[in-house]
């Protein structure tokens, strides 16, 4: 088993990475948490694949387990889903000693974490990521969220999981596009912090090679940002490389473009913008594009949703905006990015420049 310690301003925990761990959660939860009641919080697709197996494993350890299942998809990352879960928790009289188990991708994790953070002013939750993206990114660091009609992730909390159990065997049922989504965040980690990691990714013959090591390296990079700045005031914001453009693409297209694909395109746009401004090292964008293509990710927005004005309006609502400014994460060289504020009034120009 690979264990990665996570230190945060809100408490420490561990990520445990092991094939088959999802089926062994009964004994692990008993040893770590005693005998809490457990609500498995998952979406309809993951429930079909793993819900009953995980529930059976927990029940075999004599734990009292129920399942809350919502329809799969970003469209359900809403207050309405959280409200339904809260009502069931209250109906079933869950208390502060009990546990929510987030089983699924980033949507399940963000929703379950948000629900855990506000039910009875906070109960414990654990993350069992079943997408590569959730394993290397969203299950670690305690950002929880729901989307609002006005923009993505506009409501949420910082609430750390008590533990993360990552079973890479669950990624076998992911379609190739979902694996690629995970690599968007993995490549992001290399670009913002570690050129050696980028070289490793450039050399890997196939995505399955040394997957556990890749997951571990990514989590360690993310963990360093989270430890330095848990509440996202400064350094942690570098993890948003590609996200301001990416969130605008997701919002404008009504989530027809997946989060990973949007981040991939967003990173290229940020890199082009850095190029145009003379900030980025020569051929950095080409290097980024080649790596994204290698892992099956798009590098260009295929169109739809409107022109730079529509995108600028969507980005103006981004969480990273305030006092008339919006902060972009721009690459300088492989392994180094810079937080760069721009006037919101210039957003349309910025989008046009980055799209050229």
- Contact residues toward ligand GLY (CB under 6 A) are 137, 141, 143, 232, 236, 239-240
* Binding at 236: pick from ligand GLY, ligand NAD, none (beta carbon under 5-8 Å per type): ligand GLY
* Binding at 106: pick from ligand NAD, ligand GLY, none (beta carbon under 5-8 Å per type): ligand NAD
CA trace torsion 13, 219, 148, 247 (10° rounding): 170
Q: In whole angstroms, what is the distance from residue 296 CA to residue 318 CA?
A: 27
Q: In whole angstroms, what is the distance from residue 240 CA to residue 252 CA?
A: 18
The distance from CA 86 to its chain's CA centroid, rounded to whole angstroms, is 23
Q: Could you please report the per-residue DSSP string of 90-110?
A: HHTT--TT-EEEEEESHHHHH
* Binding at 45: pick from ligand GLY, ligand NAD, none (beta carbon under 5-8 Å per type): ligand NAD
Residue nearest to ligand GLY as judged by C-beta position: 239
Residues 100-159 that bind ligand NAD (CB under 6 A): 104-108, 110, 130-131, 133-134, 137-138, 141, 143, 153
Residues 213-272 that bind ligand NAD (CB under 6 A): 259-260
> Of 137 and 275, which has the nearer Cβ to ligand GLY?
137
* Binding at 216: pick from ligand GLY, ligand NAD, none (beta carbon under 5-8 Å per type): none
Q: Is residue 49 a contact point for ligand NAD (CB under 6 A)?
A: yes
* Binding at 168: pick from ligand GLY, ligand NAD, none (beta carbon under 5-8 Å per type): none
> Of 236 and 272, which has the nearer Cβ to ligand GLY?
236
* Binding at 273: pick from ligand NAD, ligand GLY, none (beta carbon under 5-8 Å per type): none
Q: In whole angstroms, what is the distance from residue 353 CA to residue 277 CA?
A: 10
Considering the complex, what minimum distance in angstroms separates the CB of residue 113 from ligand GLY?
A: 11
**Which of 24, 37, 67, 178 contacts ligand NAD by CB under 6 A?**
178
Q: In whole angstroms, what is the distance from residue 77 CA to residue 71 CA?
A: 10
Considering the complex, what minimum distance in angstroms separates the CB of residue 263 from ligand NAD?
A: 8
Q: Could you please report the per-residue DSSP string of 159-176?
A: ---SEEEE-GGGGGGS-H
> Of 170 and 214, which has the nearer Cβ to ligand NAD?
170
> Of 169 and 343, which has the nearer Cβ to ligand NAD?
169
Q: Which residues contact 105 (CB under 8 A, 6 or more apart)?
A: 43, 46, 129, 130, 131, 133, 134, 138, 178
Considering the complex, what minimum distance in angstroms separates the CB of residue 117 from ligand NAD?
A: 12
CB 8 within 8 A of CB 230: yes
Q: Which residues contact 60 (CB under 8 A, 6 or more apart)?
A: 26
> Of 160 and 348, which has the nearer Cβ to ligand GLY?
160
**SS3 of the chain: helix, strand, coil, percent, to 5:** 50, 20, 30
Q: Which residues contact 21 (CB under 8 A, 6 or more apart)?
A: 1, 28, 165, 166, 167
* Binding at 174: pick from ligand NAD, ligand GLY, none (beta carbon under 5-8 Å per type): ligand NAD
Q: Hey, how many other C-beta atoms are within 10 angstroms of the C-beta on 205?
A: 6
Q: Could you please report the per-residue DSSP string of 202-250?
A: HH-SSTTTTHHHHHHHHHHHHHHHHHH-TT-SSGGGGGGTTHHHHHHHH
Segment near ligand NAD (CB under 6 A); pick from 69-77, 91-99, 120-128, 289-297: 69-77
The site for ligand NAD (CB under 6 A) is made up of 43, 45-46, 49, 72-74, 77, 104-108, 110, 130-131, 133-134, 137-138, 141, 143, 153, 170, 173-174, 178, 181, 259-260
């Amino acid at each position: 088993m690979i264990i990665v310690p996570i230190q945060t301003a809100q408490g420490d925990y561990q990520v445990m990475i092991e094939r088959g761990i999802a089926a062994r959660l009964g004994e692990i939860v008993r040893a770590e948490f005693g005998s809490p009641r457990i609500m498995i919080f998952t979406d309809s697709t993951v429930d079909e694949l793993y819900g009953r197996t995980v529930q059976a494993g927990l029940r075999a350890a004599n734990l009292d387990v129920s399942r809350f299942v919502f329809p799969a998809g970003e469209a359900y990352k809403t207050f309405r889903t959280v409200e339904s879960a809260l009502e069931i928790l209250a109906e079933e009289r869950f208390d502060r000693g009990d546990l929510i188990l987030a089983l699924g991708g980033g949507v399940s994790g963000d929703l379950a974490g948000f629900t855990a953070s506000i039910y009875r002013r906070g109960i414990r939750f654990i993350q069992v990521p079943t997408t590569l993206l959730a394993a290397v990114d969203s299950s670690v660091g305690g950002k929880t969220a729901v989307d609002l009609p006005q923009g993505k992730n506009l409501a949420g909390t910082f609430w750390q999981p008590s533990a993360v159990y990552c079973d890479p065997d669950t990624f076998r049922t992911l379609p190739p596009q979902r694996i690629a989504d995970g690599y968007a965040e993995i490549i992001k980690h290399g670009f913002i912090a570690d050129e050696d990691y980028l070289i490793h990714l450039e050399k890997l013959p196939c995505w399955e090679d040394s997957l556990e090591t890749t997951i571990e390296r990514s989590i360690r990079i993310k963990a360093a940002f989270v430890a330095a700045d848990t509440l996202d005031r400064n350094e942690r914001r570098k993890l948003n490389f590609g996200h301001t453009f990416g969130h605008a693409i997701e919002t404008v297209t009504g989530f027809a473009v997946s989060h990973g694909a949007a981040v991939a395109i967003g990173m290229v746009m940020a890199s082009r913008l850095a190029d145009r401004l003379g900030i980025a090292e020569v051929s950095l964008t080409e290097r980024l594009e080649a790596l994204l293509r290698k892992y099956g990710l798009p590098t260009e927005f295929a169109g739809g949703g409107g022109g730079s004005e529509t995108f600028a309006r969507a980005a103006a609502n981004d969480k990273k905006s305030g006092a008339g400014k919006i902060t972009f994460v721009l690459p300088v060289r492989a392994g180094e990015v810079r937080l760069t504020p721009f006037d919101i009034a210039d957003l349309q120009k910025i989008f046009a420049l980055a799209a050229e």
